[in-house]
Structure 1
Amino acid sequence: MSSPWIEGLRSVALFVPDLAKAEAFYTETWHLEVAHRGDGVLYLRGTGTDEYLLALHAGGEVPQVRQVTLRARSREALDEVAARVQAAGGRLLAAPHQLDKDPAGGVGLKFQDPHGRTIQVVHGDVRRAATAPVQDRPIRLTHVVLNSHAVDETQHFLQQALGFRLADRTGIMAFMNCDRDHHTIAIGIADNDALNHIAFLMPDVDSVMRGGGRMKDAGHPIQWGPGRHGPGNNLFNYFMDPFGVVIEYTADVEQIDEGYEAHGPEYWKWPPGRVDQWGISAPPGPELKQAQRCVFFAP
């Protein structure tokens, strides 16, 4: 256990331009399942214990991030986070309160970090009974990557406010750990604060690869992959959804404990021509790189 207060990543909420189109894509092609429907909002679940992974809200002409939701280890942890967020320079938007309008329920708080990213932390939300993983269907979210124009400041905030620790640092990213997954939030070194991508955990390598074929058949080619990352050791295939949100199928995420040794950029340098452990895939193309710079948090 790294963070004494944060257990992991629960869900991501997005504003999307076309809710019906989003539902068709995320259920028929991405293989999530409708969990709940509301007025102008759709909640989608995987096969794991989380009540939902994605909340899709009807929005404007471009996609935006409404919030990223983390799960707290205890009700007391929410009060600790509320105090630490403000001490670390964040802005508390909502103190701990009952989430009566959220279909997963529980108690939650909401804050903005110093660069305007909205994060919710919940405890006591509905959990589903554990079942065996289902081939070709996402289980849960494993991480979200957020760009930052001030990576050191963002890293410091996550450490001070949420108790994360640095798992690894490469030339392009800082990987932040809170529990067993190697990273739950990663910070992309950039000149903006956009969403870089959302990663969905698949049951195995075959599910990651068949997912690539399924997406290709549906007109959504693999934008980067297949490959195996260095930090996290996870398999990957990257795609873009119909609105330009970058999403990843991943598996085999490295599980770490307090004895894990963090490494820096010199350790994670690849030989010339390689961008991952396997060296099969070409580097990310300009279309993907641009998409990773275009989806911002809603004001």
Structure 2
Amino acid sequence: MTSPHVAALRSVALNVPDPDLAAEFYTEVWNLAVADRQDGAVYLRGTGPAHHLLALHPGEQTEIRNVTFRARSADALPVLAERTVGAGGRVLRPVAPVTEPGGGVALIIADQDGRIFRFVHGDAEHDVDTAAVPDRPVRLAHVVLNSHDVSRSQAFFERALGFTLSDRTRMMAFLRCGSDHHCVAFGDSDRDSLNHIAFLMPDLESVMRGGGRMKDAGYPVGWGPGRHGPGNNAFNYFVGPFGVVIEYTAEVLQVDDSYPTGGPEDWTWPPGRIDQWGIGQPPTPAIKEAQQAIRFMPAAAF
């Protein structure tokens, strides 16, 4: 089922040591476009309606500031606040107008482990860019967060936010709020951190062409190309500036209430294979290290 409160993943905000340098990469190589700038931060959009997909703020080190979802209605925001507290989280900022580009109103919370999430409604949207080049990201497909307790993280998203478990592998829980197989997933780890941010491309051809552009720019494939099991999406992973792991993906499985929730026994691979195709390289040591390195900004600093 879809979440009655949350409509979609909208954006991820990061602190980075040099937002302008990072923005140069994300526009010239990754193929996003600048939506706005404010107070040293750069807001980057895709070809879809979301005001921005990625916000780059100045900071001494690379951190996740927050993950932002779009609420289904303004009335959903106070409900989310109440459910957050009931599920063991905290309200960091009650519903209030958003002062950054995109506007609208937002609720800001932290889960039991201090991860910061925002829920916005009434934010500005762009007209869809019908003149987009084929290999430009459309929107965010999902964000994967590492968790020292995947079951606890999953339970919070189910109880507080109304998400539904699509699949559970030995290492990961895949959760959805709409028809995408997942828009957030939690991976088993000894630290709570950012695993990667996935950008939805228009098609498989764009995933491959974007990967070639990255290699031409000196960013080798960190994992892929391949096709995942849960979600059935094609992928290419890279380590971008300041150690952020980013993914080009396409053909994400669309599901409804008839989708049978899978367990670890449903997602096993033959020896030596870690995706459906089995043609791409496995994750490199560099990408494995980067997938563990970036923590959330402390909620106490908010």
Look up the match of 1:53: 53
Measured after TM superposition, the shift of residue 130 of structure 1 is 2.9
Tell me which amino acid in the other structure corresponds to 2:48.
G
Measured after TM superposition, the shift of residue 102 of structure 1 is 1.8
Q: Report if the CA contact (8 A) 1:228-1:236 is conserved.
A: yes
Aligned-pair identity (%): 59
Equivalences for 1:34-53 in 2 at 5 Å? 34-53=34-53
Q: Distance in 2 between matches of 1:84 and 1:207?
A: 39
Look up the match of 1:275: 274
- The one-character-per-residue Cα deviations of 1:238-268 (angstroms, maximum 9, x if unpaired) are 0011211000000000111111111101110
Look up the match of 1:155: 154
Q: Distance in 1 between matches of 2:215 and 2:155?
A: 39
The answer to whether the aligner puts 1:118 opposite 2:116 as a matched pair is yes
Q: Report if the CA contact (8 A) 1:178-1:184 is conserved.
A: yes
Tell me which amino acid in the other structure corresponds to 2:31.
H
Q: Report if the CA contact (8 A) 2:38-2:100 is conserved.
A: no
Q: Report if the CA contact (8 A) 2:6-2:70 is conserved.
A: yes
Which one is further off, 283-292 or 87-96? Answer: 283-292
Equivalences for 1:167-206 in 2 at 5 Å? 167-206=166-205
Measured after TM superposition, the shift of residue 19 of structure 1 is 1.6
Q: Report if the CA contact (8 A) 2:201-2:248 is conserved.
A: yes
Measured after TM superposition, the shift of residue 282 of structure 1 is 2.7
Tell me which amino acid in the other structure corresponds to 2:157.
L
Q: Which runs of 4+ in 1 moved over 6 A?
A: none
Tell me which amino acid in the other structure corresponds to 1:146.
L
Instruction: Give structure 1 stretches of 5+ with no counterpart.
Output: none
Q: Distance in 1 between matches of 2:133 and 2:79?
A: 37
Q: Report if the CA contact (8 A) 1:225-1:238 is conserved.
A: yes
Measured after TM superposition, the shift of residue 206 of structure 1 is 1.1
What is the root-mean-square deviation of aligned Cα atoms in Å? 0.9
Instruction: Give structure 2 stretches of 5+ with no counterpart.
Output: none
Look up the match of 1:23: 23
Q: Report if the CA contact (8 A) 1:47-1:134 is conserved.
A: no
SS in 1 for 2:75: helix
Instruction: Please give the TM-score of this superposition, normalised by the length of structure 1.
Output: 0.98
Tell me which amino acid in the other structure corresponds to 1:49.
P
Which one is further off, 281-290 or 254-263? Answer: 281-290
Tell me which amino acid in the other structure corresponds to 1:122.
V
Q: Distance in 1 between matches of 2:3 and 2:293?
A: 30
Between the two proteins, the alignment pairs up a number of residues equal to: 297
- The one-character-per-residue Cα deviations of 1:208-235 (angstroms, maximum 9, x if unpaired) are 0011111111111010000000000000
Tell me which amino acid in the other structure corresponds to 1:165.
T
Measured after TM superposition, the shift of residue 131 of structure 1 is 4.1
Q: Report if the CA contact (8 A) 1:134-1:203 is conserved.
A: no
Which one is further off, 144-153 or 125-134? Answer: 125-134
